[in-house]
Amino acid sequence: MSKALIISSICLALLYASCKNGKSRKPVIRDTSITAVTSFNNLFFDSTRLSAFLKNHSQYENFTAQFHDFYKDRNYAYAWFDSTGLAEQALNFNNLQQNYITSFSDSSIYNPLLDSLLQSIQQNNPKRKPAESQVLETELLLTGQFFQYAAKVYKGSDIDASELGWFIPRKKIDVHALLDSAILYKSAEAYAPQNSQYRRLQEFVQKYSRLSKETGFDSIPALPKSLRKGDSAEVIVTIKKHLELLGDLSSNDGSPTFDTTLVLATKKYQQRMGLTVDGIIGNKMIAELNVPMKQRLRQILINLERLRWMPPEKDTNYILVNIPEFMMHVYDSGKLQFNINVIVGTSANSTVIFNDKLQYIVFSPYWNVPESIVRGEILPGIKKNPNYLAKHNMEIVKSGTVPVIRQNPGGANSLGLVKFLFPNNYNIYFHDTPNRNLFSQSSRSFSHGCIRVGEPKKLAQYLLRTDSSWTSQKIDSAMHLKKEKWVPLKKSIPVFIVYFTAWVDQNGQLNFRKDIYKHDEKMAVKLFR
């Protein structure tokens, strides 16, 4: 490829990648500077042939503009062929597409005509060279398939995410720019979809597809009592078989004895399932082991779909809260710094899935009691006990049929000693809590919708780390004031509140969690109908 064409392609890729969502692009002008001399091959076709192709292949109708723009940029030079025949990038893309179809059992983008043409061309019989019309048909089919593949795998299924409670804006893609990259860089890895989490989770699709056909997963009966190290029972033989197939048990002696190896396997499995990690097998663990592998496979596919919606990964600072995991992950320059246990909303008061920017820390906060709680809890409490407000360190700010009530700062304040604000339409924020004992629970959905933070001081120290005046002592003091103190951050930090029930952790271990808000159930109806 000529240097001029490489530079031109890079500039085009950057141009399209930087386009603002929702804004129309300028019309693409045919680049007549690309000729047989400046291009990497001498294969060109007449523009009228593209229009005829699109007329006969209605499955690519939604990509008509992308087709024309892509080939105008190239002055209608072939992209998938060169003077020697089928180019490397064509084989790379076809392998990528076939792997997707096989791994996900998704034949919706399979094109038998393209498959037949590629097989015929790859036979490379010198006495029967493919006709020019076959080559062009293959060229344009590869482009159309790339557009379909990219739209499906990068963007995801045509689902209204907001119907499923997901309010993080879905990622926008430019299939034209992706195709530029595919042709320019040739390697499939250069434009592999999504982020590192997507790729790590995708690696488990084939394994769980295989496990879903495995015959060794006999149902495990409920236990009359928990099993511990040293116990002996026939059910242990079945449990060991399950853990061996899943990869948690390194070696299976087939005995009914609860030995040290089984303790280690049990702890590993409990960690992956979000259970209490104690090495004791109880009925909660048995329930997880009895989840059918077909259901686990669907769980992986559902979460891969969600990952397609996520914005691209960036090497920046951000906070991510995964609701089913009950965990906050804090990233600095794209690298995980630490995790903090959190408490999220109950199923009746579910925490909203969205993203925003954290802008303020409020030390010693007032709690402005929501009207629903005033009606449902406080007013009935006042009727029973006239000293209810004083007992709970509350005061009426504004009288009325439903008075405006707030709780003053202090150790008993429902928001604890500090809150973290990222102003949003859902009235969701992070805050401390006086009920510290709840963080020891393995399942932590107890709040009215906001997110309670297990280590609020640690989070405050991290957010204020660039300001040397905010010492540990100063933060402690600010958390025990009589009036609240607002501290704006010098630089806001993105916050993502997400919902993933399957993911791969930093140690490469596949994790599953319960579908506490039934979002997976609703999504399964959309994906697997």
Catalytic residue among 176, 242, 329, 450: 450
d(CA 456, CA 430): 9
**How many other CB atoms are there within 10 angstroms of residue 84's CB atom?**
7
At residue 13, the pLDDT reads 33
Provide the b/e sequence for 413-445 (b: ≥16 CB within 10 Å). Answer: bbbbbbbbbbebeeebbbbbbeeeeebeeeebb
15 and 119 housed in the same domain: yes
Dihedral Cα 108, 112, 114, 119, nearest 10 deg: 130
Q: Active-site residue 19, yes or no?
A: no
Query: Same domain, yes or no, for 353 and 281?
Result: no
CATH of the domain at 228: 1.10.101.10
CATH number at 350 reads 2.40.440.10
Q: What is residue 49's predicted lDDT score, i.e. its pLDDT?
A: 95
- Asked whether residue 302 is domain-assigned, the answer is no
At 344 the pLDDT is 95
The one catalytic residue among 176, 242, 392, 431 = 431
Task: Give the model's pLDDT for residue 153.
Answer: 78
Domain residues for 180? 3-193
What distance in Å separates the CA atoms of residue 28 and residue 62, rounded to the nearest whole number? 17
What pLDDT is stored for residue 16 in this prediction?
Answer: 34
Amino acid at position 258, single letter: F
Last residue of a domain, one of 229, 258, 291: 291
How many independent structural domains does the chain possess?
3
Domain end marker among 259, 291, 323: 291
Domain end position, chosen among 163, 193, 223: 193
CA 77 to chain centre: 38
Record the tokens describing residue 469, joined without a space.
Answer: 């005046």
Burial class (CB in 10 A: 0-12, 13-18, 19+), 90: buried
* Residue 505 backbone dihedrals phi, psi, to 5 degrees: -85, -175
450 catalytic? Reply is yes
* 204 within some domain: no
**276 shares its domain with 321:** no
Asked whether residue 189 falls in the same domain as residue 217, the answer is no
Nearest Cα to Cα of residue 302 among 526, 46, 62, 6: 526
Q: Provide the residue-wise pLDDT of the chain in tens; the chain has 529 residues.
A: 333 332 233 233 323 333 333 344 566 766 666 665 555 667 899 999 999 999 999 999 999 999 999 999 889 999 999 878 888 888 888 888 888 887 777 788 889 999 999 988 887 666 677 889 999 999 999 999 998 888 877 776 777 777 777 877 766 666 667 777 767 665 555 555 557 898 899 899 989 999 999 888 999 999 999 999 999 999 999 999 999 999 999 999 999 999 999 999 999 999 999 999 999 999 999 999 999 999 999 999 999 989 988 887 777 899 999 999 999 999 999 899 999 999 999 888 889 999 999 999 999 999 999 898 999 999 999 999 999 999 999 999 999 999 999 999 998 999 999 999 999 889 899 999 998 888 878 778 778 789 999 999 999 999 999 999 999 999 999 999 999 999 999 999 999 999 999 999 999 999 999 999 999 999 888 877 6
Same domain, residue pair 327 and 469: yes
d(CA 455, CA 461): 10
* pLDDT of the residue at 309: 84
- Are 364 and 465 in the same domain? yes
H-state helical runs in 431-502: 456-463, 472-478
Residues 84, 222, single domain; the answer is no
Task: Answer whether residue 149 is part of any domain.
Answer: yes
Residue 79 covered by a domain = yes
Residue 301 lies in a domain: no
Distance in angstroms (rounded) separating the CA atoms of residues 273 and 21: 38
d(CA 280, CA 263): 7
Query: How far separated are the first and last CA of the chain, in Å rounded?
Result: 46
Helices (H), 105-187: 112-122, 132-150, 175-185
Domain annotation covers residue 245: yes
SS3 state of residue 278: coil
List C-alpha distances in Å: 420 to 307, 349, 485, 486, 487: 26, 20, 12, 10, 10
| Any domain includes 89 | yes
Q: Do residues 101 and 48 share a domain?
A: yes
Is residue 281 domain-shared with residue 324, that is, in the same domain?
no
Q: Is residue 206 part of a domain?
A: no
DSSP 224-241: SS-B-TT-B-THHHHHHH
Pair 399, 523 in one domain: yes
Both 188 and 247 in a single domain? no
Q: Is 248 in the same domain as 320?
A: no
| Strand 394-398 with 367-368, pairing | unpaired
Q: Which of 65, 21, 62, 510 is closest to 299 using CA atoms?
A: 510
Instruction: Report the 10 Å Cβ neighbour count for 214.
Output: 11
